[in-house]
Structure 1
Amino acid sequence: MANKINFTKAMIEGLPLPEQGKRIDFHDTKTLGLQVRVSSNGTRTFSVLRRIHGRLERVTLGRYPALTIEQARRKAAEINADIANSVNPAEVKRGRKAELTFSELFGEYLERHSKPNKKTWAQDESQFHSYLRATLGPKKISAINRSSVASIHSSITKAGQATTANRVKALVSSIFGWAISAGLWHTNPATGIKHNKEQSRDRFIQGDELPRFFRALADEQNSSMRDFFLLSLLTGARRANVLAMRWEDISLDRAEWRLRTTKNGTPQTVTLSPQAIQILRDRLPLEPTVFVFPGRGKTGHLAEPKKGWQRILSRAGLGDLRIHDLRRTLGSWQAKQGASLAIIGKSLNHKSQNTTAIYARLDLDPVRDSVNAATSAMMVAGGLTPDMGVVKFNRSRG
């Protein structure tokens, strides 16, 4: 074989450069198949060239001097050992190149599983971009192990977001679980990671906070945002359901809103209080529209109320309140007015009374009444008459 030399630092660095656009291969006398390819611009690249099953295969190792001669010889020896054990390293490497990155796997999961089957698919997308894209996204899925996922879970937990850490871990587990069922992968690196202990959140709008909250709503210039938060409070419905509220599902005469599907998989009829009915009557469109809160995005309805929520919280001085706490607020005020756990659970469409039990510990008042009484009580506590006649809301369309 031509151009056989003993690879040394001085020898490799002194190799002649070929003509412009050409390359020259030099073969090591000590290690079977090891060669260095010299290009006209001076780049020197180690590789192993071997005939495997009658086919000449090249496996690139890396560039000199980032990869030293000794490192190149060790890698070449490992490849030679694989070949001796009937493993084709070139085929293995080609398989790795074809392997999905985690970002690519998530894209498959989102389009093929999450969007068709989960009403909360947008939350999956948000969590991926917030917590996983930068850390796991570029990695091949074979490079992601339990330690990788545990590290992310731990860092989110240390940042004071124990519940979020659990949700992110659950998303990773769901992605890999789907990949296994779809035949795209064979192991789940999220398996076996200890779950953070979670505490039930019991935050709701207190009586002395309601006046500030309602005045902040009254000052909101975007009527869609204001009405969205008011209906979220007055119906106790989940954010996703209120965002996607359809006119065809509402009966103003019967004061009912029929939810075709909900988070727990069952339909629900939501009682509409007189205050909720008034908001809906004020929103009746001049031209037919599908959604109560139409939007310009892909869904056709309002998609993300976070900025409006932050404006209202800032005006009200209620920095620790979440949108989901509006749902909890209705249940809490039902408990204050004496509603039974069964009534609260029915109005909020809870499957389990254990979920509903959180409202019982918020107040020890006797249990007797339901949604309309709670709504009226909130209006009065907030400085409004039950028909919202004290603080006038700006009804201009936002």
Structure 2
Amino acid sequence: MAETINFTKAKLDALPLPSKGLRDEYCDAKQPSLRLRVTSTGVKTFCVLKRIRDGGMNRITLARYPEMTIEQARRKTAETIGKIAEGGNPGEVRKALRSELTFRELFGEFAERHGKKKRAWAADLQRYRAYLDRPLGARRLSEITPAMVSRILSDTEQAGKANATINNIRALASTIFAKGIEWGYAETNPVSATKARKKVSRDRFFQADELPRFFAALMAEANDTVRDYFLVSLLTGARRANVLAMRWGEINFSDRVWRISHTKNGDPQNVPLGDEVMAVLGRRQSAVGAGTEFVFPGQGGSSGHLVEPKKGWKRIFDRDEISMLTIMIAETGRTFGPKCNAKTGGEVFESLEARVQRAREMAKGLGIKIDGVRIHDVRIHDLRRTLGSWQAKTGASLPIIGKSLNHKSPQATAIYARLDLDPVRASVEKATAAMLKAGGVVDFCGASTD
């Protein structure tokens, strides 16, 4: 006969193991139909033991502990008893429990029916793989609790990720569950019981003294697709996903306008293209050749275009830091250069990261303070903010800036609708000229700087 105890985590964790080949069973004091079986190898499994109408006892296995929590087991037991009481066949109930989707399976259907249609799908896929699949992927939907989701968000916060990143992860998980409810796979959304992080508005953009360094390091980028992607992002102020998926068919070369049909806020956008952007596009046409669909083609993934430029972004700031440290080391009378083989005197291959580290160590050894040498806290999205900030610096009105960046607000929408592209083009070109001048760019088409 099963021993009755009040199921708590402390008690279940401390249960003794039966002798080899035997199995013990315990009954929950709060939910008598809930049982826990313990094997001699330490496997603990929840199950429901329920008498059915013909007088016989029927056992339905739920899941192992602690993969399924005590509260989940009690809730699932009540649900199972309810279905049997309504006349449900225990065999059918057991089959339904086994066929319940896992979070990973729901995400697969979410991808096919909804996710892949989104322009930001690549970012959602990356978030799922990085933050949600490992802790939730193998779990049945009914097993996932608000506490589990909250733990994921807290761990992400502890890892130093920005509030915006945490909120994006939360929003993705919530959308997946919402679709699961809509499609009849889930009954509740555990994400709704968790709290979103406070949204902190960023105001970071490239300052005048940072632009020469940024342009110098950017123009030295060997990957011309990555380099030109960042240039177009900065000089148009368009959103990241739109620039990544930029198509030649969207560009009207005679009018010098890029027509974006689908944007984040749902409104189509006409982006005026200045001389500098046209120069980059001309360079891209020569580089990718005829017949390509995307301005920035990519080999990774199934999209056909560049998907993740973060590594290229890091290389820019690595190169700049090396340049700055090289100058500082030279001021001490020493030199920093390529790593050489002590025996042959030949240059040794060295990754950019390794070279940065070697430069830092040499500078520290010479007593050079390196704090603040690296351009700090600039993200790819800040390129968009940089254009808007320089438009403001050069006298553009807020409606003009909003129109050029395709911002949307109830107060300004009517004003934006009355603006044509001429003042927007003039503002963008004026801001572009100011940025390039501050950046020391002399011959843009030749990609050379002071």
Superposition TM-score tier, normalisation by shorter sequence? 0.7 to 0.9
CA distance in 2, matches of 1:324, 1:277: 22
CA distance in 1, matches of 2:265, 2:429: 24
Displacement of 1:376 in angstroms is: 0.5
The answer as to 2:293 corresponding to 1:290 is: yes
Count of aligned residue pairs for this structure pair: 337
Aligned partners of 1:82 and 1:88 also within 8 Å: no
State the Cα deviation string for residues 198-254 of structure 1 (Å, max 9, x = none). Answer: 110111111111111111111111111111100110011111111111112212332
CA distance in 2, matches of 1:146, 1:379: 50
CA distance in 1, matches of 2:291, 2:410: 40
C-alpha RMSD of matched pairs (Å)? 3.8
Aligned partners of 2:122 and 2:307 also within 8 Å: no
State the Cα deviation string for residues 36-65 of structure 1 (Å, max 9, x = none). Answer: 9xxxxxxxx999999956698863769xxx
Aligned to 1:184: 185
Aligned to 1:144: 144
- Aligned partner (choices 412, 419, 436) of residue 379 of structure 1: 436
The answer as to 2:319 corresponding to 1:315 is: yes
Aligned to 1:303: 307
Aligned to 1:133: 133
Aligned to 1:341: 398
Aligned to 2:107: 106
Assess, with a 3 A threshold, how the Cα gap between structure 1 residues 49 and 381 changes in structure 2: closer, same or farther: closer
- Where 2:242 maps in the other structure, the secondary structure is helix
Assess, with a 3 A threshold, how the Cα gap between structure 1 residues 88 and 204 changes in structure 2: closer, same or farther: same
Aligned partners of 2:387 and 2:432 also within 8 Å: yes
Aligned partners of 1:211 and 1:381 also within 8 Å: yes
Instruction: Give 5+ residue unaligned stretches, structure 2.
Output: 4-17, 23-34, 38-44, 66-73, 321-373, 414-425
Instruction: Give 5+ residue unaligned stretches, structure 1.
Output: 1-5, 17-33, 37-44, 67-74, 357-368, 394-398
State the Cα deviation string for residues 369-398 of structure 1 (Å, max 9, x = none). Answer: 7100100001110011374567269xxxxx
State the Cα deviation string for residues 348-369 of structure 1 (Å, max 9, x = none). Answer: 101128899xxxxxxxxxxxx7
Assess, with a 3 A threshold, how the Cα gap between structure 1 residues 354 and 59 changes in structure 2: closer, same or farther: same
CA distance in 2, matches of 1:14, 1:339: 80
Q: What one-letter code is carried by the residue in structure 1 that aligns with 2:157?
A: T
Alignment of 1:1-398 (within 5 A): 52=52, 59=59, 89-116=90-117, 118-160=118-160, 161-285=162-286, 286-296=289-299, 297-316=301-320, 317-352=374-409, 370-385=427-442, 387=444, 391=448
Identity %: 49
CA distance in 2, matches of 1:303, 1:46: 44
For the pair shown, which has the larger CA radius of gyration, 1 or 2? 1
Displacement of 1:159 in angstroms is: 3.1
Displacement of 1:93 in angstroms is: 3.1
Assess, with a 3 A threshold, how the Cα gap between structure 1 residues 319 and 96 changes in structure 2: closer, same or farther: farther
Aligned partners of 1:102 and 1:140 also within 8 Å: yes
CA distance in 2, matches of 1:306, 1:390: 22
Aligned partners of 1:47 and 1:58 also within 8 Å: no
CA distance in 2, matches of 1:14, 1:170: 48
CA distance in 2, matches of 1:255, 1:87: 67
Displacement of 1:105 in angstroms is: 1.0
- Where 2:154 maps in the other structure, the secondary structure is helix
State the Cα deviation string for residues 94-136 of structure 1 (Å, max 9, x = none). Answer: 32211011111111111111112x2112222111111111111
